[in-house]
Structure 1
Amino acid sequence: MAARVVVAFAVASAMFVAVSGQKFNAIFSFGDSMSDTGNLCVNGPPAGLTLTQPPYGETFFGHPTGRAVAGATALDAGFFHDRDIPGAGSKGGSDFRRGANMAIIGATTMDSGFFQSLGIGDKIWNNGPLNTQIQWFQQLMPSICGSSCKTYLSKSLFVLGEFGGNDYNAQLFGGYTPEQAAGQSGTIVDGIGKGVEQLIGLGAMYVVVPGVLPVGCFPIYLTLYGTSNAGDYDQYGCLTRFNTLSSRHNSLLQAKVSSLQSKYPWARIMYADFYSHVYDMVKSPSNYGFSTNLRACCGAGGGKYNYQNGARCGMSGAYACSNPSSSLSWDGIHLTEAAYKQIADGWVNGPYCHPPIMS
């Protein structure tokens, strides 16, 4: 993606989320594939990107949209009540005063130099880390709020992430162990904290900061790092070492959010707990209407997880299950629209955002 900025969400003012009875002026989103609505494809789909192929998009839009899901993301499904949120490829007519989405698939917290220093610079394949996304937002600010940005942004909602997942993916897929990757957690969390402070410096007062997911429960990890040792798994079939990495990150991030809240008492900084909610879906899938929890809906190869790197969703030989809403995992890497709807509700109304957005 070039240095051009993304287009705004086309959302009517009546759809704005309220906090303590207050309606937001706008919603601004930053992050990775959990919230990208098409930004990676703004200049045309990158070669080999499978999510530009069916069956992506089939359950909501009827065609691929650049979202890494069969339908809507958590932001689409929860905050905007199933309204279409145009991605960065939309042309003209955008009103940035109502919101904008800077999220891009593959985004990391850290800049490329961090990964080069670890010897894994080749694992980073787009130019949209957190700092760059904030720069894109700053480029939009004149069209959003003119000369009165502090006031306007103080009544807007900022969703900063999920960030961190791809920072760990680069290390793990580059040969690092979960324990080695955990050694970088403090640096990554500090990077997220700096992003929060940058937004507060621009005028933000309401900031949601999501943690990372229990990746040890995801089909891609279960397939690539599976072992014959039952002791490597928890009672629900998830890889313990990888979930320990996620838990360490989230523990540090919660402490960072608490510290920032003390430093900026006039702001409302909210920790969104991706991990606990998704892990509960793994533990009790039927409570959420899921019949499968560790198996990808869309993939190839069958077996316990229905995942193959050489036949991922959107590639030849892969296919989607007949009822994606009955699955927790969409493609082995991302969640289904049904799961995202549950997550959005848990953030807006609690108990998986601390404090809840609507409290």
Structure 2
Amino acid sequence: MTRLLLACLALLLARAAVAREYAAVFSFGDSLSDTGNLCVDGIPDYLATAHAPYGMTYFGYPTGRVSDGRVVIDFIAQELGLPLLPPSKAKNATFRRGANFAITGATALDMAFFEEHGLARAVWSSGSLHTQIGWFRDMKPNICSSPQECRELFRRSLFVVGEFGGNDYGSTIFSFRPLEEVHALVPHVVDVIARGVEELIAEGAADLVVPGLLPTGCFPMFLSTFVGKPAAAYGPRSGCNRELNTLSWVHNAALQRKVEELRARHPDVRIVYADYYTPAIRFVLHAEEYGMLRQTPRACCGAPGVGEYNFNLTSKCGEPGAYACQDPSNHWSWDGAHLTEAAYGHIAKGWLYGPYADPPILHP
């Protein structure tokens, strides 16, 4: 028993030692990571995600996070002993311990790409990855006093780059373009993510996390939109849309190959591939292992009685007619397009300690 206690203590000390290595965390991404950038100047009329019951579990009020509570980047910051990252657009905030540039609706590709392909009306946020990196550069004078000090700080910081891609593909999917056209975006999206990573490396980043996509075909928003397909179009155990999950898988495979290329080009930089896909699939197939209800993919917050997925575009979570389930912790899908705090917590743990990251962020 004594040896076991000593071993546990040694493990905890090792984890604490690793956590102290990070001076700050800088996050980029979309609604999976946004901690309020879309709300710092007031709540836009169209933004249901800034209304109750968003934020009900942890904060007790909406914060701009698209969940009932914390998102992955919050759990990571807390586990590293750092404060929750302030949105980069927050007024009078301190950014020396990190900042969150993620914004709801963000894409990897710039707006010019969507305009060129006739998809601009399907993209409503101008916070592309390139734009967010521009915000990061503009912030540098507020967090360090010289280029040398900046590079030293960034060398000791963790950079989380994504996820990106979900809104890029969504713009094409919800424009009802052929699936072949959606797949044609994959190399463009992955290349832009890789360029963003290299831009941050050029700024001094030496420890980066690059997340892949969630299994798009398991989310109630997509399942409700693309109904009436033959039974063979759905996974027999999961009930997920196979074609859309294949798209996510193809993106993730291409992104992992790109991460390998980046590692070869930058051997002195640590680049972690973080997996959203596998844990989300496990929430669907093995819900009981995570204290969740085993059920058809179903939103916790939605319009009860409207469809089997509890999702309705005319009564989305945060809008009149929509209500949250009594206990979000036993659901993985919060509003039909995003995850619950409980699901994000399980994913964050898997990124920090394994097995959902290559290598784990806190790998000794």
TM-score (norm 1): 0.92
- 1:282-334 deviation line (CA, Å, top 9, x unaligned): 11111111104510000004332100000000111100000000001000010
How much has 1:25 moved relative to structure 2? 1.1
Task: After superposition, give the CA deviation of every residue in 1:210-260 in whole Å (9 maximum; x if it has no partner).
Answer: 001101000001100122410000121000000000001000000000000
Distance 1:228 1:127, change over 3 A: closer
**What is the CA–CA distance in structure 2 between the aligned matches of 1:194 and 1:70, rounded to whole Å?**
33
Structure 1 residue 309 corresponds to structure 2 residue 307: no
Distance across 2 between alignment mates of 1:335 and 1:230: 26
CA apart distance, 1:41: 1.2
SS of residue paired to 1:194: helix
The CA distance in 1 between the partners of 2:309 and 2:57, in whole Å, is 21
**Conservation of the 8 A alpha-carbon contact between 1:37 and 1:88:** no
Distance 2:63 2:276 in 1: 24
Please say which of residues 19-28 and 129-138 is displaced more in the overlay: 19-28
Q: What secondary structure is seen at the aligned counterpart in 2 of 1:209?
A: strand
Return the letter of the residue paired with 1:298: C
Q: Identify the residue that residue 54 of structure 1 maps to in structure 2.
A: 52
Larger radius of gyration: 2
Give the corresponding residue for 1:110. 109
Deviation at 1:88, TM superposition (A): 5.0
Partner SS for 1:159? strand
- Post-superposition shift, 1:46? 1.8
Aligned residues with identical type, % of pairs: 47
- 1:225 corresponds to which residue? 226
Question: Which position in structure 1 is the counterpart of 2:65?
Answer: 67
Task: State the shift of 1:20 in Å.
Answer: 4.7
In 1, Cα distance between equivalents of 2:164 and 2:313: 23
Give the distance between the partners of 1:110 and 1:89, measured in 2 at CA: 21
User: Does residue 91 of structure 2 align to residue 91 of structure 1?
Assistant: yes
8 Å Cα contact 2:56-2:62 kept in structure 1: yes
- Residues 18-55 of structure 1 deviation map (CA, whole Å, 9 limit, x = unaligned): 68565111000000001101001122122211011111
Match of 2:328 in 1: 324
Q: Which runs of 5+ in 2 are unaligned?
A: 1-14
Q: Matches of residues 191-230 of structure 1 in structure 2 within 5 Å?
A: 191-230=192-231
Q: Secondary structure at the match of 1:152?
A: helix
- 5 Å matches for 1:1-359? 20=18, 23-81=21-79, 84-88=84-88, 90-92=90-92, 94-147=93-146, 148=148, 149-235=150-236, 236-292=238-294, 294-302=297-305, 303-359=307-363
Residues 85/134 of structure 1: CA separation in 2 closer, same or farther (3 Å cut): closer
Separation in 2 of the partners of 1:89 and 1:146?
A: 20
TM-score by length of 2: 0.90
Aligned partners of 1:19 and 1:358 also within 8 Å: no
1:245 aligned partner, one-letter code:
L
- How many residue pairs get aligned? The number is 342
Aligned residues of 1:299 and 1:319 also touching (Cα < 8 A): yes
Task: Indicate conservation of the 8 Å contact 1:35/1:104, yes or no.
Answer: yes
Task: After the TM superposition, list the runs of 4 or more consecutive aligned residues in structure 1 that deviate by more than 3 angstroms.
Answer: 17-22, 81-91
C-alpha separation in 2, matches of 1:103 and 1:88: 8
Query: What amino acid is aligned across from residue 262 of structure 2 in structure 1?
Result: L
1:255–1:132 Cα change, 3 Å: same
The separation in 2 between residues aligned to 1:117 and 1:174, in whole angstroms, is 15
Provide closer, same or farther for how the CA distance between residues 128 and 243 of structure 1 changes in structure 2, counting only shifts above 3 A: same
Counterpart residue type for residue 112 of structure 2: G
